[in-house]
Amino acid sequence: DGPHQQILNATLAYPGNEVTYYSDIKQVKDLSYSGKIIYSPSKGKLITIEHKESITNPTQAIFVKSEAKISYSWKADTKAVTLESGWSEPDVFKYRRVLLVNDKKMNHVDVQYNKATGALQAQATCEFHDRALDLKVDNVMNPKLANYGFRLGQKSYKFSVNRVPKESISLKLDSAENSQWKEFKVRVSRKEKSSINMVRANGAALNAWIDPYGLKEKRAHLDFKSPKYNLDHTGDIVYNKVDRKFTWDSKTNRNGQPYLTFEAQCAPRQRSYFILKKIKSPDDVSKLEYFQDKG
């Protein structure tokens, strides 16, 4: 048999509009095809798609590649899409999708599965006007390492994620361009304390952690500093499992001087109370107190 060719021509007319579709597919060589699709979504508008397809090793390690170029009659924009999927190696399956708009890469997706190791790696990038996303994962089914980045206008951020299965996951800001953020770290643990640390370019900082795994005490701590408002704050919350006692102690300084203090205790076997002080000056102190004795 000679090369195959398939032509399809269809028209759908209805009041106020007419949709047309034309397709011509030709066999270039064995398992390779090229064609053109002309689609009219409405009167006076045409979308032209030129495409190529090829298949290798159809009965063994099959690999398929498809390319398409898209143009529009009513605007100068052009798009090009490339799809690839199949076994590039005996134990490696790959999927790839790339989109170009006006010859500029706008997004791509790369997925790779290694049958020998069971790892499913993925990488994706997407751009839209002044925004962009980028993601890379070492194993989608059981991730341990990942990199994530995004851009908003002139600001861009890159993060790394580290996961220890059944133990912890950490997120860290690796770089930030044209941004006020200098440091950002988050760690969530199932066995040890979890923490968050943030630092901005103006010197503002927040450090906090919580440790719910202590044998006798559960603890939480917070430090906050704001040079803009000349404030710094520190606070601790403790729950004693033995005495069933809850305590809260915090202090806030303003312009380097004590400004606000808070103490609280709640215990069924001891006295419960809270004391709130606002210090405007050594001679001007406002206080709010509440006490409740046991029994």
Whether residue 158 contacts residue 174, with contact meaning beta carbons closer than 8 Å, is answered with yes
Question: Which amino acid, residue 124?
Answer: A
Checking if the pLDDT of 295 tops 70, the result is: no
Residue 192: C-alpha distances to residues 218, 221, 245 (Å): 11, 14, 22
Asked if 26 and 8 count as a contact pair (C-beta separation under 8 A), the reply is no
Residue 209, SS3 per DSSP: strand
Partnered with residue 38 across adjacent β-strands are: 22, 48
Mean pLDDT is lowest, of 4-13, 32-41, 277-286, for 4-13
Supply the pTM of this predicted model.
0.74
Q: Please say whether the beta carbons of 216 and 240 come within 8 A.
A: yes
DSSP annotation of 129: T
Question: Measured between alpha carbons, how far is 69 from 79 in angstroms, rounded to an integer?
Answer: 6
Using alpha carbons, select from 221, 224, 162, 223 the residue that is nearest to residue 189: 162
**Residue 284: Cβ within 10 Å count:** 8
Residue among 237, 203, 204, 207 at smallest CA distance from 222: 207
pLDDT per residue as tens digits for the range 145-198: 999 999 988 899 999 999 999 999 999 999 889 888 999 999 999 999 999 999
Q: Which amino acid appears at position 60 of this protein? A: Q
Q: What pLDDT shows up at residue 266?
A: 93
Question: Is the Cβ–Cβ distance between 214 and 202 less than 8 Å?
Answer: no
Q: What mean pLDDT comes out for the span 10-21? A: 80
Task: Judge whether residue 1 has pLDDT over 60.
Answer: no
Mean pLDDT of 33-46: 89
What is the rounded CA–CA span in Å between residue 196 and residue 71? 49
pLDDT the model gives residue 128: 81
pLDDT, one tens digit per residue, over 203-262 is 999 999 999 999 999 999 999 999 999 999 999 999 999 889 999 999 999 999 999 999
Q: How many CA atoms lie within 13 A of 138 on its CB side?
A: 11
DSSP-assigned letter for residue 139:
-
The average pLDDT across 102-111 equals: 90
Query: What integer best gives the mean pLDDT of the chain?
Result: 91
Mean pLDDT, range 39-43, rounded to an integer: 85
- Give the DSSP letter of residue 101: E
Asked if residue 2 has pLDDT above 70, the reply is no
DSSP 3-state percent helix, strand, coil across the chain (nearest 5): 0, 75, 25
What is the average pLDDT across 79-92?
90
Give the count of alpha carbons within 13 A of 133, CB side only. 7
The answer to whether residues 104 and 89 touch, using CB atoms and an 8 Å cutoff, is: no
Beta-strand runs (E) in 62-154: 63-72, 78-89, 92-101, 104-114, 120-128, 131-137, 145-152
The predicted structure's pLDDT at residue 7 = 86
Q: Residue 56's pLDDT is what?
A: 86
Residue 37 CB-half CA count within 13 A: 12
Element containing residue 186 per DSSP (H, E): strand 181-189
> What pLDDT sits at residue 247?
96
Helical (H) or strand (E) element with 53:
strand 45-56
pLDDT at residue 4 is higher than 80? no
